Amino acid sequence: MPYISFLIFIPIVTALVALLIPARYTRVFPWLTVGVNILQVFIFILMVIHFKVDGSLQLIEKHSWITLSLSSWGQLQAEYLVAVDGLSFPLVGLSVVIMLIATLSSWHVSKSRKGYFALLLILNGAIIGSFCALDFLLFYVFFEFMLLPMFFLIGIWGGPKREYASIKFFLYTLLGSIFILIVMIGLYLSVQSPENSTEVVHTFNVLYMQNLENFIPGSVLDATTTGSWRLWAFVLLFIGFAIKLPAVPFHTWLPDAHVEAPTAISVVLAALLLKIGGYGILRFVYPVFPDGAVYFSDWVAGMGVVSIIYGALNALASKDLKRLIAYSSVSHMGFVLLGIASATTEGIAGAVYQMVSHGIISAMLFLIAGVLYDRTHDRIIENYSGLASQMKHYTAFVLIAFFASLGLPGFSGFIGEVLIFFGAFQSQSLNNLVQMWMPIVATLGLLLGAAYYLWTIQRMFFGPFAVRANFAELNDLTTREYAMLLPLAIMALLFGILPQILLDYINPFAESFTSMWFSLGINANP
């Protein structure tokens, strides 16, 4: 069964079907979308059953897609190659769950529902496609396909400054895309398929790109060529994905996009789109250019540490609740970068774990901001006080989300962070990629994280009740909101208390990732 293809194309086909339904049947669209989401959850459960945890690629689907003979140039070959492994499988699972919750959270969208849900479905397919594609061209198509719905979803259904935010988002990511495109072309020119020895077959297969032997001698990105452009390619590709992550200083699109985006889109943006950045670095940048990764390891780790501290400081100064959460995302994704930079088994596994955990927790955080915004249309922190006395259950979820996000043991965030620290601390003695002072400085981010969340709780939820905003009623959570928040809270707890259930999937990937580095002789003592 082509599970992955089902997962990718069911939403896209449904989106096309939805376009044929007259827009006046407004009730149909959310139900259609939620049906697709539930179907995807079932497909994912089937995938879990069929997934063998042995470190190899699973559920591979391989078909020829574009084959062009270019006479003396050899052959161009792009394949439809999708598969999952320990890196992408947890992220696919996360996508499936988050998209379901995003649909639930957009239940009451009023403006042109047909377009909204069709775009959401396209986004759904494109995200899962990006996580599963192992052919660079195929990945790039899905990657670009993601931008378009996102641009419109922010630009049409967003807040007052939505045009600015959506254009900023688009420009940033487009810049990243261009960098990725340049490197992709370079790789295409340099890599040949080992399947065919009689003729040069240029391929986009990422697995082939990860083996230095497949590079055509003398080509642009061949390691043996003198004056190779490999380091430049690393930088370009890394920046391309760092924009998505986002890492400081490529992050300023994020707060604006988040503040203006509707709740559901914020959830998808924070929980899934940012993960494409981390995923891209782990799937493309590091395995394809390990030499660049070693050369720039200080920079990558430094960027991670700066993101952690800088994001946290910005969150501390934020007056808008959503802006605070957006900057906290910058801070938490900095940990991912730090873990990757260490290139140790613990660090890599920690980075993947942190991505999944941040997906769960940030979704919760944005839903929480959305709950309040739905009631009062105001997100300024200082306009609230003592909400705990009026909204008991809401406050309970806020506490869970905030403390999960600040890394309280028992929640998934702690496991991710602590694994990253394990990796980063031993890196100096193991492979000398990350100096020990860097993670020590990064721990300051934990303290700052506690500070901005606790101050927010103190200002908004404790103290005497007062709201300086217009609102009709300040009800506690509705059933729909419960249905969105409770599964996320349970997941955050589950992955925090029993980390091994997720690590069993991630470990083989992390181990093969690091063993690849060992095989390249990088971990030898410098």
Partner 1 sequence: MSDAITILLITLLIPMVSAGIAFSVKEKYGWLIPIVSSLLLLIAAIAVLFPLFGNVQLTEQFSQPWLSIGNTSVSIGILATPITRLMAAVVLFVSAMVHIFSIGYMANEKNTDRYFGFLGLFTFAMLGLVYSTNLLITFCFWELVGFCSYRLIAHTQQKTAASQAATKAFLLTKAGDVAFLIGLLILWTQNSTLELAFITSTSGVWNTVAGLCIFIGVVGKSAQFPLFNWLPDAMQGPTPVSALIHAATMVAAGIFMLVQLVPVFTPSTLWVMTAVGIVSALMGAAGAWLVTDIKKILAYSTISQLGFMILALGLGETTGAFTHLLHHAFFKAGLFLAAGSIIHAMHQATHQTEVDVQDIRQLGGLRKQMPVTFIGFAICAAALAGIPLTSGYLSKELILTAVHQKNMWWLTLSVWIIVFATPLYIFRLLWFAFLKPATHVLTVNEAPWIMRLPVILLALGSITFLFQQGHLSSFATQILQTEIAVPTRIVIISLAVTAASLLTAWLSRNLSSRAPEFLIQYFLDSINLYLVRLTTFAGSLTTTFDKKWIDRSIHTLAYGKVMLAHVAGWADRNMVDGTVHGVTWVARGLGGVTRSVANGKIQSYLLWAMAGLLIFIIWMLY
Q: Which residues form the interface with partner 1 (CB under 8 A)?
A: 168, 171-172, 249, 251-252, 255, 310, 313-318, 344-346, 349, 386, 388-389, 399, 403, 408-410, 414-415, 418-419, 421-422, 425-426, 429, 436, 439-440, 443-444, 446-448, 450-451, 454-455, 457-458, 461-465, 499-500, 503, 506-507, 510-511, 514
Residue closer to partner 1 (CB basis): 234 or 453 = 453
CA–CA distance, 242 with 73 (Å, rounded to integer): 33
- Smallest separation (angstroms) from partner 1 to the CB of 17: 38
Taking the complex as a whole, the smallest distance from the CB of residue 465 to partner 1 amounts, in Å, to: 7
Contacts of 519 (CB under 8 A, 6+ apart): none
Q: Least Å distance between CB 307 and partner 1?
A: 11
**Residue 451 CB, nearest distance to partner 1 (Å)?**
6
Which residue, 141 or 520, is less far from partner 1 as judged by CB? 520
CA nearest neighbour of 364 among 507, 501, 190, 487 = 487
Q: How far apart are CA 278 and CA 22, in angstroms?
A: 39
Pick 106 or 177: Cβ nearer partner 1: 177
**CB within 8 Å of 81: residues ≥ 6 apart:** 60, 61, 62, 63, 133, 134, 135, 138, 205
Closest contact distance (angstroms) between CB of 43 and partner 1 is: 29
Helix, strand, coil fractions of the chain, as percent rounded to 5: 70, 5, 20
**Cα 306 to chain center, whole Å?**
19
Q: What's the rounded Cα separation, in Å, for the pair 327 and 324?
A: 5
Nearer to partner 1, 418 or 520 (CB): 418
Closest CA to 277 of 173, 175, 433: 173
Cα–Cα dist 331/319, whole Å: 17
Give the DSSP letter string of 218-272: TSTT-TTSTT-SHHHHHHHHHHHHHHHTT-TTS-THHHHHHHHS-HHHHHHIIII
**What is the closest distance, in whole angstroms, from the C-beta atom of residue 462 to partner 1 in the complex?**
3
Nearer Cβ to partner 1 (208/327) = 327
Closest approach of Cβ 440 to partner 1, in Å? 6
Quick one: 60 or 436, whose CB is closer to partner 1? 436
Looking at beta carbons only, is 386 or 487 nearer to partner 1? 386
Euclidean distance between CA atoms 234 and 400, whole angstroms = 39
> Is the CB of 139 or the CB of 513 nearer to partner 1?
513
- Cβ burial of 51 (10 Å; 0-12, 13-18, 19+) is middle
d(CA 44, CA 402) in angstroms, rounded, equals 29
Name the residue nearer to partner 1 (CB basis): 218 or 249.
249
For 411, left (φ over 0), alpha (ψ -120 to 50), or beta? beta
Closest to partner 1 by CB, 117 or 425: 425
Query: CA-CA distances (angstroms) from residue 234 to 64, 100, 496?
Result: 28, 35, 34
Give CA 110 to chain center in angstroms: 28
Least distance from partner 1 to the Cβ atom of residue 471, Å:
20
Kindly state the smallest distance separating residue 342's Cβ from partner 1, in Å. 11
CB of 36 to partner 1, least distance (A): 35
If the CB atoms of residues 392 and 480 are measured against partner 1, the closer one turns out to be 392
Q: Using CA atoms, how far apart are residues 510 and 423, in angstroms rounded to an integer?
A: 11
| Least spacing, CB of residue 231 vs partner 1, in Å | 24
